[in-house]
A and B are shown apart, each in its own frame.
Chain A
Amino acid sequence: MRKVYTKIDQIVGPVVTLRAKDIAYGEIARIRLQDGNQTYAQVIKLRQDEVTLQVFAGSKGISTGDEVEFLGRQVQLRFSPENLLGRTFNGVGEPIDGRPALQQTIDIDIGGPSFNPARRIIPSQPIQTGIPMIDMFNTLVKSQKLPIFSVAGEPYNELLARIALQAEADVIVLGGMGLKYDDYLFFKSQLVPSKERTILFVHTAADPVVECMMVPDMALAAAEQYATDGKDVLVLLTDMTAYADAMKEVAVAMEQIPANRGYPGDLYSQLAARYEKAVDIEGSGSITLLAVTTMPGDDVTHPVPDNTGYITEGQFYLKGGVIDPFGSLSRLKQLVNKDTRKDHAPLMNAMIRLYDASRKVRQQQSMGFAISTFDQAVLAFGEEFEARMMDLKVNLSLPEQLDLGWEILANHFTPAQTTLPSKLTEVYWPKDVN
C-alpha cells in the first residue's frame, strides 16, 4: 500500500514535519517537488501522528503542498560486489559518474549493528603505504582507526590520495564530506590508476548538508560487505569535522540542547559508532580507517578532534606539509614493528632522537650560539632526513626505507655516534661509506 501525503506542516532548515500514520522510525520517504525534482528524507522523530523528517537534499524549494511518499524501508545501500568498484556515488548512494545505475544489487541497511567485542582479535598485521613517516615511524596496522589531524591549507587530501594509490589493500573506499569541487575533481583524476579497486562516496560543499551525514555510513556499509567477504578494505574519510558540523546543523534545526560549542551531546557516540566499524575479522577480511579531521584554529581541544582522540588508536599530525614525527602516534605500531626487521624499532628510535636533537641545534643556531662539529653533523642529518624521508612524495618499500635510514645516518655519523647497538650496526651499516 502506498502511503502518500500532500500536506507538510512545518519546514525548519533541512527538517520538515507532517502528519502521517503507521510510519516506522528511521523509514525513508520520497518527496516530489513541484518543479519535477524529487528528494529523499528520513524519519528522525515520531510523536503521535506527527512525523519529523530530515530531507537529504535540504528543504530549499519544498512546498507545503509537495507529495511525500513513505517507502516502508530503512536507508539502504544498493550493493553489488563487482559493480561498485570504480564507481562514484553521492551521499545517498546514487551514481554521479554519469554511468548507468547498478544492476543486480542487494539492498543493505546502513548503520548496521556493532561487531561483537568478544569476537575481536588483537591486530597483528601492518599495512604498507610506501610513506616512510607512516610505515617506518608510525606503522598503520590492519583494523586500526586513525585520524589525520590537520588544519585548512595543509595537503591532507593529497596525502589521502597518495595513500589510496600506494596502500596495500584489496578495496579502497573514499568518503568525501564537504569537499570543495576542485578537491573532488582532484581525487577523480588522481585515483584513475587504482580505479578498479576504488569506490568514491562524495558530498561536495555545495551539496545538501544531510547527504554529508550519510557519507560515512554509506562508505562503511560498503566496506563491511567487502570485509565479511574476505577483503582487506581501507576506508579514507575527509573531512570528519565537516561531518560533525552537519550533525550540529541538523541538531540545531531539531531544537536539541547543544553540549559543547553547539555540537550535540551525542557527538562522541556518533563518531565512535563510525570509527568502531574498523575491525579485523578472524578468518575473513578487515576494515582499516583513516579520517582527516581538520582542527578549527589548530586547536586540538576543539570538541571534534578532542572526542576523536579518545576514540581512535593514535593520530597523525599533518603540519607544515609533513607528518610530524613528534605529535603523531600509532598506538598499535609495537604490535607489528617487532616482526618486520630487527633493526626497525631501534633505528626508528635513534633517528627520531637525532632529529629531535637537530631541531634543538637549529634553535640554538638561530639564537646565535656557537655550534660544535658534532652539532653541525646533527644539523646536516636533520636536513637530509627532512628532504629524503619526511617528504610526502617519497614512495619506498619498508626495507628500502630502513636501508635509506642507515644510509642517511652513515652520511653524517660514525656508528658509535648513533648509540645504536653494535650488533645492529655491524650488520646494517652501509659498507661503501667510510
Chain B
Amino acid sequence: MSDKQGSVLGVSGNMVTVRFTGHVRMNEVAFIELGGDEGARLKAEVIRIRGDECDMQVFEDTRGIRIGTHVAFTGELLAIELGPGLLSTTYDGLGNPLDALANQCGFFLQRGVYLPTLDRSTKWAWTPVARVGQRLTAGDALGTVPEAMYKHRIMVPFGIVGAVEVIDLAPPGDLTVADTVATVKLLDTGEVRELNMVMPWPVKRPIQAYAERLLPDRPLTTRIRIVDAFFPVAEGGTACVPGPFGSGKTVFQQGVSKYAEADVVIVAACGERAGEVVETLREFPELIDPRTGRSLIERTIIICNTSSMPVAAREASVYTAVTLAEYYRQMGLRALLLADSTSRWAQALREMSGRLEEIPGEEAFPAYLGSLIAAFYERAGLVRVEDPNLGTSEGSVTTIGTVSPAGGNFEEPVTQSTLAVVGCFLGLTYARSYAKRFPAISPIDSWSKYIDRMKPSLEATYFEGWVDTVKRLATYYVAGQRVGDQMKVVGEEDLGLDDFVHFLGAEFIDAVFLQQNAFDPVDASPSADRTALALQLTARLVDHDWGFTSKDQARDTFTDLTATFRDWNITAPDAPEYQQLLDRIEARLSGSVATAA
C-alpha cells in the first residue's frame, strides 16, 4: 500500500473531490471505502488535481458517500488484465466479467464488486518459444498457449523499458494464468522479475511494442456490398457510421460483427440498449463462422457498458475495448473494434466536464472533445511486429465507430470531430431507411479515403479494373439520381428517353447492388468472388446499349432485370436456380429477350 491517504471533501453526482496527503498521479485509481453494513469499496479515477485536492470520477453510484469517507489510493493507473481467456467473454467497461458477476450477485449488478478479468482456474497448454539466456524486449513472445483457433502469445510486458534476459522458463505443461511462466532479469536495473500470463495495462495508454506502423493498403472485407465496393474500409483504418435512430445502425453493426473478415472482433456496447447486446450474446454461440468452422463467439469479446450502467465506466469502456484490440494485434492478428456508440462516450465526457465546471464548448461538450476523439481513432493501425523467435508478422486494429447525432443532424460536434479524423464515412440517412433501402448508407454523401491507396490489393481481391468500374458506376449513379430529382419536378412525360434510361439504370444499381438484405441467409454475406461477379454484371447491364424505343419498354426491361437479379442475390451458389438466373440475365444481354419485350 502507498503512504498517501485521502478523505472525501465533496460529492456531486458521480464526481467526488478528495483531499490527499503525499503525491497522487493523474488517472490513478483509488477506492472510496464506504463504512456501514454494505462496506463497499467504490472504484474511482483521478481526473483533476489542484493543490492538495483532487477530483475523481466514481465508476459506481455515489449514494452514501460522506464528507470524510476514507479514500485508499492504489498508485496504479486504470488498467485491464491482458492474457488468455479474453475471447468469447463479456465484460463491463472496467473489465469485470459479467457472467461471473451474475453467478456471484444474481440478476442485478451490485456496486463495489470487482472480479478479476482473467479466470484464475482455467489451465492453458503452455509452450515456451524463447530460450533461457535469450535477450528480449517488450512485446517479444516468451511462449504461447492455444486460445480458440489462435496461438495466444505470452509476451514480455509492454511496459518494460530496455532489454531483459530470460533466466528461467516453465517447461511445456498446463498452467493457470497466475502460474509463473518465466523469470527475467531487467538489464537496465538488474531487477529480477517473475512473470505469469497476466499483463495489466493502463487502458488510456496506447500499446506501442511493434517494429513500425504501416500504411493501410488492403481492405478489411465486411461483406456489405456498398461498403466493400464503394466505400471500402482499410485493414488498420477507421470508419465512422453516423445515423439517426431507426436508420439501421444496429443491424449494420451486427452484420459487420458477424461477417467481417477479421480474426478477433471486439464489440464495445457503449451506452446503448442492453437488448442489442443480448442478441449478440445469445446468437453468436449458435452461429458458425464459415471461415474457421467454429462458433462466432470464439472470436468475439463483448465490452458491455449499456446505457443504464454507471456513466464513468462508460467513458472507460471504449479505452478498455481498444486496448484489447491492440493486445491481439501484437500477436499478428487482425482485430476489429466496433464502438457503438461513440456519441454516448462523448456524452459521458460532457457529463464529467460539466461536473468539473469546465468552460463548455459547442453544445456543452468539452473543448478537448476533438482531440480525445482523434486520439481514440489514432489507436487504430496496421503494424509490423518483429519477434526474434516467431519472425515477422503484421497485425492490425480497425476501428468502426457509430455516432448517434442529436436530431439526426450531422452538423453536431461529435459527428464533425469524428469526420475530421476517420478514413471512411458511412452516413446512414432517414430518406433511405424510410424508403426501405437497406443498408441505409447514403451512396451520395458517404466517402472513403482508402479506395485509391488500396487499388492493387482491391484488384487482386476482386478483378483487374475493379476500382475504375466502381468509380464509373458511382458517377453514373449520382448523375442518374440527379435525373430522378429533375423528373420529380418536370414529370416523367417531359423527360427524354436517354435520361429516363439513365434514371432507371441508377435505380437498378441501387436495387441490385447497393441494397442488401441483412436478414437473408445468402444475401447477408456474399463472398468476394460473388461481389466481384455482381459488380461486373451490374456494370455490363448498365453499359449495355439496349436500343429502347419507348419508356415503357425500358421500364419493363429493368423491372424484369431487377427481379431476376434480386432473386439471384438470394440464391445460394449450389442451388440449381443459381445458374438459371444468371442465364436469364445473359439472355437479356444477348438481345434475344429485350427485343421481344
Query: What is the interface of chain A, defined by CB distance below 8 A to chain B?
Result: 21-27, 44-49, 74, 109, 112-123, 228, 256-260, 264-266, 268-269, 272-273, 275-277, 281, 301-303, 306-307, 309-311, 313, 329
Q: Which of chain A's residues have a CB closer than 8 A to the CB of B347?
A: 265-266, 268-269
- Complex Cα–Cα for A48 and B363 (A): 31
Rounded to whole angstroms, the CA-CA distance of A260 and B308 in the bound complex is 21
Q: Which 8 A-B pairs have the closest CB atoms?
A: A301-B407, A272-B307, A26-B63, A276-B308, A118-B98, A309-B245, A47-B10, A114-B308
User: Which single member of B101, B278, B344 contacts A122 (CB below 8 Å)?
Assistant: B278
Q: Do A24 and B65 form a contact, CB below 8 Å, given A118-B90, A118-B281? A: yes
* Closest residue of A by beta carbon distance from B282: A122
Q: Are A118 and B102 in contact, with the CB atoms below 8 A? A: yes
Does B62 have its Cβ within 8 Å of any Cβ on chain A? yes
Which residues of B lie under 8 Å from residue A264 when comparing CB positions?
Answer: 354
Task: Tell me which residues across on chain A come within 8 A of B10, comparing CB atoms.
Answer: 45-48
**Please, what's the 1-or-0 string for B248-269, where 1 marks a CB less than 8 Å from any CB in chain A?**
0000000000000000000001
Min CB distance B170 to A, Å, is 33
Q: How near does chain B come to A1, taking the closest CB pair, in angstroms? A: 14
Q: CB within 8 A of A273: which of B66, B110, B244, B308?
A: B308
What A residues does B245 contact at CB under 8 A? Answer: 306, 309-310
B109: Cβ under 8 A from any A Cβ: yes
Number of A-B contacts (CB under 8 A): 165
Residues from 32 to 67 in B contacting A, C-beta threshold 8 Å: 61-67
A257 and B354 contact, CB distance less than 8 A? yes
Residues of chain A lying within 8 A (CB to CB) of residue B363: 259-260
Chain A residues with CB below 8 A from B65, complex form? 24-25, 46
Q: For chain B, give the interface size range.
A: 35 or more
> Within 8 Å CB of B348, what residues of A?
269
Binary CB contact string for chain B from 107 to 124 against chain A (1 if under 8 A, 0 otherwise): 111110000000000000
Q: Taking CB as reference atom, which chain A residue is nearest B245?
A: A309
Q: Is the CB of B279 within 8 A of A309?
A: no
Which of B67, B351, B407 makes the CB contact (< 8 A) with A46?
B67
Once the chains are docked, how many angstroms separate the CA of A115 from the CA of B101? 11
Assess A119 versus B404: contact at CB under 8 Å? Given A24-B66, A26-B62, A273-B307. Answer: no
- Nearest Cβ distance between residue A287 and chain B, in whole angstroms? 12
| Main secondary structure on B side of the interface with A | mixed
Whole-angstrom distance between the alpha carbons of A119 and B90 in the complex?
A: 11
| Chain B, 88-113, CB within 8 A of any chain A CB | 90, 98-99, 101-102, 105-111
Additional A-B contacts beyond A23-B66, A266-B311 (4; CB < 8 A) = A44-B12, A118-B281, A122-B279, A269-B347
Of A264, A306, A310, chain B has the most CB atoms within 10 Å of the CB of: A310
Cβ of B273 within 8 Å of any chain A Cβ, yes or no, is: yes
Q: A49-B67, A121-B278, A258-B364 are in contact. Are A268 and B307 (CB under 8 A)?
A: yes
Given contacts A114-B109, A117-B277, A276-B273, contact A25 B307 (CB under 8 A): no
Contacts of A113 in B (CB 8 A): 61, 108-111
With A and B bound together, what is the CA distance between A46 and B68 in angstroms?
A: 11
19 contacts between A and B (CB under 8 A): A22-B67, A24-B65, A45-B11, A114-B274, A117-B90, A117-B269, A119-B102, A120-B275, A121-B278, A259-B364, A260-B363, A273-B308, A276-B273, A276-B306, A302-B407, A306-B245, A309-B245, A310-B404, A311-B307
Q: Across the interface, which residues of A come within 8 angstroms of B309, CB to CB?
A: 114
**Alpha-carbon distance A126/B8, docked complex (angstroms):** 49
Bound Cα distance from A269 to B13, whole angstroms = 12
Q: B66 to A272, Cβ gap below 8 A?
A: no
Taking A25-B64, A26-B63, A259-B363 as contacts, is the C-beta distance between A117 and B304 under 8 angstroms? yes
Report whether B281 and A45 are in contact in the complex, using a CB–CB cutoff of 8 Å.
Answer: no
Nearest neighbor of A224 in chain B, beta-carbon distance = B108
Take A47-B9, A303-B406, A306-B407 as given contacts and tell me if A116 and B273 are in contact as well, using a CB distance cutoff of 8 Å: no
The reply to whether B17 and A47 form a contact with Cβ atoms under 8 Å apart is yes
Do residues A74 and B246 form an inter-chain contact, with CB atoms below 8 A?
no
Contact of A281 among B61, B107, B307 (CB under 8 A): B107
Report A-chain residues with C-beta under 8 Å of the C-beta of B274: 114-115, 117, 120, 276
Return chain A residues, CB-CB under 8 Å to B354: 256-257, 264-266
Q: Closest chain A residue to B89 by CB distance? A: A118
What residue of chain B has the Cβ atom nearest to residue A123's Cβ? B275
**A310 proximity list for chain B (CB < 8 A):** 245, 404
B271: CB under 8 A from chain A?
A: yes
CA distance A112 to B406 in the complex (A): 28
Q: Which residues of A contact B98 (CB under 8 A)?
A: 116-118
B392 proximal to A (CB < 8 A): no
Q: A27 CA to B11 CA in the complex, in Å?
A: 12
Q: Which residues of B contact A306 (CB under 8 A)?
A: 245, 406-408
* Segment 233-249 of B: residues with Cβ below 8 Å from A: 244-246
In whole angstroms, what is the CA distance A313 to B274 when docked? 11
CB nearest to A74 among chain B residues: B63
B360 within 8 A of A: yes
Task: Return the contact of B67 from the options A23, A44, A268, A277 (Cβ within 8 A).
Answer: A23
Contact with A along B289-324 (1 / 0, CB 8 A): 000000000000000101111010000000000000
Given A45, A228, A309, which contacts B107 in the complex, CB threshold below 8 Å?
Answer: A228
Pick from B12, B99, B269, B275 the residue with the most CB of A within 10 Å: B275
Is the Cβ of A74 less than 8 Å from the Cβ of B281?
no
* Residue of A117, A257, A269 with highest tally of chain B CB at under 10 A: A117
Contact A116-B109, Cβ < 8 Å, known A122-B282, A265-B347, A276-B308: yes
* B273 and A313 within 8 A (CB): yes
Given the complex, which residues of A lie within 8 Å of B304, measured CB to CB? 117-118
Asked if B416 is at the interface (CB within 8 A of a chain A CB), the reply is: no
Nearest B residue to A254 via CB reads: B12
Task: Assess the A112–B275 pair: CB atoms within 8 A.
Answer: no
